[in-house]
Structure 1
Amino acid sequence: MSDTGGWNGPDQPGYPGPAFPPPPVSPQPGVIPLRPLGVGEILDGAFATMRRHPGLVFGFSALVAVIGAVADFALTRSLLGGVRTLQPLGPAATQQEQLAWFSETLRQTAVAGGITFVVGLLTSTFLSGFMTIVVGKAVLGRRVELREVLAELKPRLLPLLGLTVLYMLIVGVATVFFIVPGVWLYVLFALAAPALVLEQSGIGTAFGRSRLLVQGSWWRVFGILLLTGLVTILVTGIIEVPFGLGLGRDSELAQYLGQAVSSTIVAPFAAGASALLYIDQRMRREGMDIQLTRAAAAGQ
């Protein structure tokens, strides 16, 4: 393991082999003890990473969230100015006029949704990769520098974006036709992104790694993902509700501002919890706690 190298998989040099009995007292050089984690330790580890590196995490997260919110707001306003001028048709409108009005409203609404989706996809992918690298260093108690994190993230960014799009397509198609297989695939491949970033693997390999790590622990991974999602929804609602309470003509702008603020806090937590869940599964299934302990002791 190195600062720039991936977290070696089972078929890569440096992998310690099968799991060994843990030492009587688990070392904790960073945000988590180096042993298989409990659910609370995973969530607390995500918060601990944010607390230990507040300037880096919240500063970068706020920058990404504000850029995303401004881009979303500006593009939506510029491309959808006409939607605000569309007036409901009266009872005397012909069927053709009603159909034309409905089609235009639907088109502009779809454009707005598409813009929001693309901007959100880009910002969430960027921040997810960033936080995964930060967590990887924080677990070992290493000093985290913005320049180093960005240098490691740069070659992984496009593959991570491709993986994220493919993951959403797989889950989306499966969910549309069969809800249960959609949920199953969502959990089965939930650890692909951390695997791609930390192991520096390809997209196909990352999906395979996630499948292997989740196999046999599907319900546990599902429960942790569900709990993480509930926490993010709760915190998001608490933050965004005050911004949406009657600010008159500026209510739309306030809504975007609320989304930026909530994303600054919630997105790093969700990404950090996902990365720690990946690390936990590797410690449970592959004895990675031994490898991490050696790396932390050697200061690599």
Structure 2
Amino acid sequence: MSETPGWSSPDQPNQPQQPPQPPPGYYAPPPPGAGPTIKPGVIPLRPLAVGEIVDGAITTMRRYPKLIIGAAAVVAAITQIIGLLVQLPFLNDVTALATLDPNAMTDEQIVEQLQSSVTGLLGGTLLGILPVLFGTVFLSGFVTVVVGHAVLGEPVTFAQAWEEFKPRLLPLVGATLLSGVLITVGLVFCLIPGVYLYVLFALVTPALVLERCGVGTAFGRSRTLVNGAWWRTFGVLLLTIVISMVISWIVSLPFGILGAAATGFSADPAAALSIGSLLLSTVGAIIASTITLPFSAAVTVLLYVDRRMRAEGMDIELQRAAGHGGL
């Protein structure tokens, strides 16, 4: 997919440039009858409506279930299990913090217990986040390659997708860490800058993977594509987060009920931190992540494709790559 001319940015050398093709109306797809709709893959090759972006992400997951759902299941299982094993040594600290009774302790004992418990809690949380972070980075990049093929309806194997993505893995890890630092700093100083930066750099992953550019260039590409459409991009990302949260809640609910039933619906905070309850929660998190992580990644890629079709006329390049010669 990386050889497809449509993925190269307009300022890359030795690539044919196309003038922007603004759609009629305000960020609306062409009306019926404006021309034939070419759809070789999961989306029509023209500027997309929000519903078409979401539908395209779901369609991609259905057409490539072994690649996307299979990879997501393996990544989710590995990361969640590692996260659980890493946090187990700190379970006593967390339990002590949850069951702390200030009335039965002196002030010195309370301070000492809080320091010990909070240190263990932070340590377990940070160590548990790391495998999830790297797993999410891998999956988002891998799904990006698959969606790139899905746009043109091309078949792709795991080996092909991995060969295309492998050289981009380390740059993507670096870009993700840098983006995370920038967004976190923005959130610490004020919520609004953090949200603004999150949306502004939302397209870094597809730009870096599909255009095979450097980390700095990927940030610049994301900023360029989002400029002028920040609110629309924010709306699509927010909708994706809401859908993912609802799916996670629906999937996790039965496992939460089973965990509560296993402890006799005890009101004791320590019961919720038992090994059995944590195992059930982990199973629920694995299933939920298997669905939500690739869905979110696919939406981001299709949002990137939509922005390039609107701002750079990439739909013509993709139509040519699909063998339709453009409109």
TM-score range normalised by the length of the shorter chain = over 0.9
Higher relative contact order (CA 8 A, sep 6+): 1
* Separation in 1, partners of 2:70, 2:95: 38
Distance in structure 2 (CA, Å) of the matches to 1:2 and 1:76:
40
Tell me whether 216-225 or 179-188 shows the greater mean CA deviation: 179-188
Q: 2:70 aligns with which of 48, 59, 65?
A: 59
Take 2:199 and 2:237, find their aligned partners in 1: how far apart are those partners?
8
Residue pair 1:30, 1:140 contacting (<8 A) in 2 also:
yes
Q: Does 1:72 align with 2:99?
A: no
Q: Specify every segment of 5 or more residues in structure 1 that has no aligned partner in the other structure, as ranges.
A: none
**Equivalent of 1:262 in 271, 278, 288:** 288
User: How many residue pairs align between the two structures?
Assistant: 298
Shift, 1:85, TM fit: 6.8
Residue of structure 2 in register with 1:16 after alignment: 17
Are positions 1:187 and 2:213 aligned together? no
> Which residue number corresponds to residue 164 of structure 2?
152
Distance 2:120 2:47 in 1: 49
Aligned to 2:211: 199
Q: Partner of 1:111 in structure 2?
A: 123
Across the aligned residues of Structure 1 and Structure 2, the Cα RMSD in angstroms comes to 2.0
Specify the alignment match of 1:275 in structure 2.
Answer: 301
Q: Judge conservation of contact 2:5–2:317 (CA < 8 Å) in 1.
A: no
Return the alpha-carbon distance in structure 2 between the equivalents of residues 30 and 85 of structure 1: 51
- Once the two structures are superposed, the pairs formed by residues 122-271 of structure 1 within 5 Å of their partners are 122-245=134-257, 246=260, 247-248=262-263, 249=274, 250-271=276-297
Partner Cα separation in structure 1 for residue 134 and residue 287 of structure 2: 17
Shift of 1:19: 2.4
CA distance in 1, matches of 2:126, 2:229: 35
Answer whether contact 1:64 1:123 (CA < 8 A) is retained: yes
Cα distance, 1:11–1:116 mapped onto 2, change above 3 Å: same
TM-score normalised over the length of structure 2: 0.86
- Residues 16, 291 of structure 1: 8 Å contact kept: no
C-alpha distance in 2 between matches for 1:64 and 1:254 = 18
Q: 1:91 to 1:230 in 2, by over 3 A?
A: closer
- Quote the offset at 1:57 in angstroms: 1.1
Where does structure 2 lack aligned partners over 5 or more consecutive residues?
23-29, 264-273
Contact 1:8 1:199 in 2 (8 A): yes
From 29, 37, 45, the equivalent of 2:48 is 37
Shift of 1:49: 0.2
Distance 2:101 2:53 in 1: 54
Amino acid corresponding to residue 10 of structure 1 in structure 2: P
What amino acid is aligned across from residue 241 of structure 1 in structure 2? L
Identity of aligned residues (%): 46
Is 1:83–2:93 an aligned residue pair?
yes
